[in-house]
Amino acid sequence: MKSDDWARLIALSVLWGGSFFFVEIALTGLPPFSVVWGRVALGALALAVMLRGRLPRGWAVWRALAVMGFLNNVVPFCLFAFAQGEISGALAAILNATTPLWGVVVAHLAGAEPLTARRLGGVAAGIAGVAVMAGGGAGALPAMIACLAAALSYAFAGLWGRRFREMGVPPLQAAFGQVTAATVILLPVWLAVDAPWRLAMPPAQVWAAVAGIGVLSTALAYALYFRLLVTAGAVNLMLVTFLIPVSAAALGALVLGTRLGPQHFAGFALIALGLWAVAKRPA
């Protein structure tokens, strides 16, 4: 990759790693559904501005985008938000790094890609890494399972999202369509569960965190992601999976004072080994 691509890759890892950091701050003043709805609503508005009226068209396209929004935004965003009430953003980011491993399994089960011995070994290493992190932390196990379920939902979304190229939907339009659909899907749930008119006014740092996760970690991150997809390619772009936990852990340590234990570093090393095995091109 060129130096510009490396700079964009690092910036993307900070933006997506920052999403876990922003959620951790936002949860101090807002319930999970309010945080998630604010994220997708602000993300949709920012992406609409970027598109300048070039929006997706057609019922078939919007039906597909609604499914994408459910799998890629509603389910994982909510699960991570609820999980981060129990575990740190850094640990959630590490568990999020299992997404490509789940992607290999989902693609194989759907008949889209073969599950080679090397890839199977990578998945096994990732599972071992999760087991190492879970050891001795039974109290956090439900939250960790929620994070893994969120990563699995991302994997299903990755498979579903392959259809948009055939449908002629440009990537940034697909990003706008999915977060817009997620905003609509979550609206009645947010109103019924959180009753936002009854919530206390959150402090300024909570509003700033919601704005950050919506505009920076969602809209700007999507724009950067699709630019990198063109200039660096999908294989090189997978490197961001290794960098997101680093960014999330650094932000958590510097600003929030959170710390990871030795078992978390050991577990991430195994997950990273698994990702390398999955991403490595055959000789």
* 85-99 residue pLDDT tens: 999 898 899 899 888
Alpha-carbon distance of 249 to 255, in angstroms, equals 10
pLDDT of 185 over the 90 cut: yes
Alpha-carbon distance of 74 to 193, in angstroms, equals 15
27 versus 241: which is more confidently predicted? 27
Q: Which ranges in 52-196 belong to alpha helices (H)?
A: 59-69, 75-83, 89-96, 99-109, 117-134, 141-160, 163-166, 171-194
Instruction: Name the token pair of 210.
Output: 């919601």
- Contacts made by residues 154-158, CB under 8 angstroms, sequence distance 24+: 154/71, 154/72, 154/76, 154/96, 154/99, 154/102, 154/103, 155/99, 155/100, 155/102, 155/103, 155/105, 155/106, 156/71, 156/106, 157/68, 157/71, 157/72, 157/76, 158/99, 158/103, 158/106
Write down the pLDDT at residue 43. Answer: 97
Its pTM stands at: 0.89
Write down the pLDDT at residue 181. Answer: 97
Write down the pLDDT at residue 189. Answer: 97
SS3 137: coil
SS3 4: helix
pLDDT of 133 over the 70 cut: yes
Write down the pLDDT at residue 18. Answer: 93
Nearest to 44 by CA among 154, 157, 175: 175
- The mean pLDDT of 15-26, rounded to a whole number, is 94
3-7, 95-99, 241-245, 279-283, range with greatest mean pLDDT:
95-99
pLDDT of 279 over the 80 cut: no
pLDDT of 123 over the 90 cut: no
pLDDT of 283 over the 60 cut: no
**What is the overall mean pLDDT for the chain?**
89
> In the structure, what pLDDT confidence band is assigned to residue 28 with cuts at 50, 70 and 90?
very high
**Total domains present in the chain:** 1
8 versus 84: which is more confidently predicted? 84
pLDDT of 235 over the 60 cut: no
> In the structure, what pLDDT confidence band is assigned to residue 14 with cuts at 50, 70 and 90?
very high
Q: Which range of residues forms the domain containing residue 36?
A: 3-279
- The mean pLDDT of 136-151, rounded to a whole number, is 84
Q: Quote the Cα angle for 179-183-185, to 5°.
A: 110
Alpha-carbon distance of 152 to 167, in angstroms, equals 24
Nearest to 241 by CA among 268, 209, 210, 214: 268
Write down the pLDDT at residue 178. Answer: 94
pLDDT of 233 over the 70 cut: no
Q: What count of Cα atoms within 13 Å lies in the side-chain half-sphere of residue 219? A: 22
Burial class (CB in 10 A: 0-12, 13-18, 19+), 276: middle
> In the structure, what pLDDT confidence band is assigned to residue 139 with cuts at 50, 70 and 90?
low
Burial class (CB in 10 A: 0-12, 13-18, 19+), 10: middle
